[in-house]
Amino acid sequence: MVKINVTPIESASNNIVYASPITKIWTPIFPILCSIFGITALFTGYIIAVLNDHVDKWLPLISDGGAIPPESCVFGLLLNICVFFWILTCFCIHIQVLQHIMYHDRFHTKHKNVLYVMLFFAILSGIGIALVANFPLSTVRPVHSYGAMVGFLSGVIYAWCYITLVKILKPKVIPKKLLIFRLLLIIFVSIVVVLHEICLHTTFLVKRTPDGHVPPVPFWPKSTNILRLDPESPYYTNFIVGRICEWSLAVGYFIVVGSLSYELNYFEIKTFSSAQTINIQIK
């Protein structure tokens, strides 16, 4: 991932060389690791929670896998690492696309403005996911819920901005097939985000009572904030559809993130500070 080369620079006296280190970073590894740690966090929390009988096998919230120890510890750790690589990915994308614009399309400053808007939503998405990781559902439910909403919605906005920008940039940054794949995946993720919010905040799929009224809302246990519904519950369909949407949008989004490795390349970082200068005697 990181390779350090030394570039010699001969001095005027011809007997001392000042070497400036050049660090090469293989940036495609960042979105790949972000995707791996993100998906691993989701399924690890789920598996440990099921094995400890903290949640039902079919189908808990993703956040339920991070509500109670020990799964909450693993879930939070992996998700924090995921956020770290997400921020690195977004800054690398920002720098690389900015250089592309400056080199090929330097007069279109509006494209640069879109990049900064994207970076804002990327950081906002990272903060939202960090709130999910560090404020468990069982203890600080409002912060956790708002963090999840901000994280997912900001991430979707970032994805739409990026795919639009990539489409209009000249020359093309990615092949047409990859662009179509991402577009279809982002459309799917956007649809399930909307459907998830509908199921979460409305009674759209809740079975009505014989007299046509909405049944009482199920009781959320204050100790864990994990809702486990019986299949006979009128809220069960609404419950399951919302959770299927949540899992689908999370996995779909991490696949989009992983695909960003295609257009990233090596970054070179040169250091010129006097403290990092290496003196090499030439005989």
pLDDT 10s digits, 226-263:
888 888 888 888 889 989 999 999 999 999 999 999 98
Which helix (H) or strand (E) covers residue 19, if one does? strand 16-26
Specify the pLDDT at position 105. 67
Q: Where are the domains positioned within the chain? A: 1-27+265-283, 29-261
Residue 273 has pLDDT above 70, yes or no: no
Residue 13 has pLDDT above 70, yes or no: no
Specify the pLDDT at position 283. 35
Look over the chain and give the mean of its residue pLDDT values, rounded to a whole number.
84
Confidence of residue 151 (pLDDT cuts 50, 70, 90): very high
* Tokens 């809302």, located at residue: 217
Both tokens of 264, joined, read 């990233």
DSSP secondary structure letters along 226-251: -----TTSTTHHHHHHHHHHHHHHHH
Both tokens of 35, joined, read 């995707």
103 Cβ neighbours under 8 A, 6+ residues apart: none
**93-122: b or e for each residue (b if 16 or more CB lie within 10 Å)?**
beebbeebbeeeeeeeeebeebbeebbebb
Whether the bond between 79 and the residue before it is cis, its omega within 30 degrees of 0, is: no
Q: Average pLDDT, stretch 88-99?
A: 91
The model's pTM: 0.84
Higher pLDDT among residues 194 and 103, named by residue: 194
Higher pLDDT among residues 165 and 6, named by residue: 165
Higher pLDDT among residues 283 and 195, named by residue: 195
pLDDT 10s digits, 157-185:
999 999 998 888 877 888 889 999 999 99
Rounded Cα distance between 8 and 105, Å, is 34
Specify the pLDDT at position 1. 58
Asked which of 84-88, 97-101, 217-221 is least confident by mean pLDDT, the reply is 217-221
